[in-house]
A and B are shown apart, each in its own frame.
Chain A
Amino acid sequence: MSPLRNVRNWLDQRLEWDDLIAPLRKKTVPLHRLSYWYFLGGITLFLFVIQVLTGILLLLYYRPGANEAFESVQYIMTQVQFGWLIRSIHSWSANLMIFTAFAHMFSVLFLKAYRKPRELTWVSGVILLFLVMGFGFSGYLLPWNTLAFFATKVGTEITGQVPIIGKPMMIFLRGGEEVTGATLSRFFGFHVAVLPGLATLLILLHVLLVQRLGISIPPKLEAQWTANPSAKREMKFFPNFMLREMMAWYVALGVLGALAALFPWNLGVKADPFVSAPAGIKPEWYFLFMFQTLKLIPPKVWFIDGEVLGVLVFGLVGLLWLLLPFFESDHPSRTKRWITGLAVFALAYVAGMSVYGYLAK
């Protein structure tokens, strides 16, 4: 017996490893022309792991606080060996992760994978998307540069527009009336402790649900396969699909490394609360569609302030989005077409408004 096999057997006798991975061996992935979309969730997870690892590395040198944050990031970028690379990977990976999370969500929507019994998978996924945006928002402030300072000012001000609970929420987020070093401390805490904890728990739940319920088949195909079981085609998850997924991760890693090395992330200018906002200031691309919408709403709609209306509508849409599976029919052959229509509209709206926001002066 080889030594490797001995170790394996020793562990197996103690952990009953084979039982643990038995469900993985039984799991299959349906094969059809849209199977490629099944990679997106895994890629998002992979990028999350990259975020955790590079985030821990950045923590070795980063110092929160209005007097130190910018300087410490500058130190990472200029003094620490490969510091620029680690920070650029963290920033690029964050952006790619948000992109793949959105893409994953829309693929789930169009393939109607959120249907019964996968409502909770959808709900946990949408909450994860909100958390990821929270990561983006809180992490953006940490280098304490001018753009981040104003983005945070505007972002938290928008929270303050919510009737009744808005103001206390804004003060909670800012750690006071204004965006100061206190805000930076809080955002640091959210970014490195609160959000990672919540996200890890939700990812576990999300993945466990996928594991438990198996991978969804698009309804049309499901109907065909139930009518004619011999037409059914699938692939073993372990190791066949897993190896393909790892190839996708490898490609993602290559793209990430290339982007970070060729386009290192800027640091900008240190934030100064007593300097005017620079012209053409915009939020990160994933907030652009909301930013642009708020810009387009007139200041007064009927008797409600435009901003308040915008925030309320986005809040309501977010809530309905979370509950979307509960409007869907249980039956695979009677899925609601309006939901697909809504998904197309949502995608077009988000994409269109983002481009408009990017191009608008």
Chain B
Amino acid sequence: MISSGDRVFPPLPRRRFVEVLLGGGFLATVVAFVYPVLRYLVPPRASDLGSDSVVAGHVGELKPNSGKIFRFGNRPGLLIRTASGEYRAMSATCTHLSCTVQYRDDLRQVWCACHNGKYDLNGRNIAGPPPRPLEGFEVQVRGDEIFVRRRREA
């Protein structure tokens, strides 16, 4: 025991001290090199292309009872013209396993080819594996252009 004045310190063996110093230094180095690598592995956030509103198509482009895929940011959207001539727009990403859905004019439904999921024209999941409805978008016809935008949160 080493005593200093009247306080008594427990012995710190020299070997143990060196071990802690070396081990700590080594650990710090590993952290200093591994941390940037881990951060590097995380892909930077992709910039969302464009605003919340896109031109999905032009009037007259779609016959009644047909649909088309359009680009909504980085994801596909589905624009449908119903048999009665009304426009509907929704996300085209199936809520089951993210395949891109399509409009089936024979069924008058939205259909996913991957696992036979079906949605109605409001995007509600009605048959097959999809767990949730497709996200619906707002459609506005302005002049010749059909604008689609995300629904405002209520």
Contact = CB atoms under 8 A, between A and B. Distances in A.
Interface of A: 57, 60, 75, 79-83, 85-86, 250, 253, 257
Interface string B37-56: 10111111000000000000
A24 B21 CA distance: 28
A57 B40 contact: yes
Main secondary structure of the interface of A (DSSP, over half): helix
Contacts of A82: 36-37, 39-40
B38 to A, nearest CB: 9
A79 B29 contact: no
B29 A81 contact: no
A254 to B, nearest CB: 8
A274 to B, nearest CB: 31
Interface string B2-46: 000000000000000000000000000100110011011111100
A79 B39 CA distance: 12
Given A250-B29, A253-B29, A81 B44 contact: yes
Contacts of A85: 36, 40
B128 to A, nearest CB: 36
Contact of B40 (A86, A250, A257): A86
Interface of B: 29, 32-33, 36-37, 39-44
Contacts of B29: 250, 253
Contact of B42 (A57, A81, A250): A81
Given A250-B29, A253-B29, A57 B37 contact: yes
Given A250-B29, A253-B29, A81 B39 contact: yes
11 contacts: A57-B40, A60-B41, A80-B43, A80-B44, A81-B39, A81-B40, A81-B42, A81-B44, A85-B36, A86-B37, A86-B40
Contacts of B39: 81-82
Top-6 shortest CB links A-B: A82-B36, A81-B39, A79-B44, A82-B40, A82-B39, A85-B36
A83 B37 CA distance: 9
Nearest to A82: B36
Nearest to B35: A82
Given A250-B29, A253-B29, A86 B36 contact: yes
A86 B37 CA distance: 8
B4 to A, nearest CB: 35
Contacts of A250: 29
A80 B44 CA distance: 6
Count chain A CB atoms within 10 A of each CB in B33, B40, B41, B43 and give the residue with the most: B40
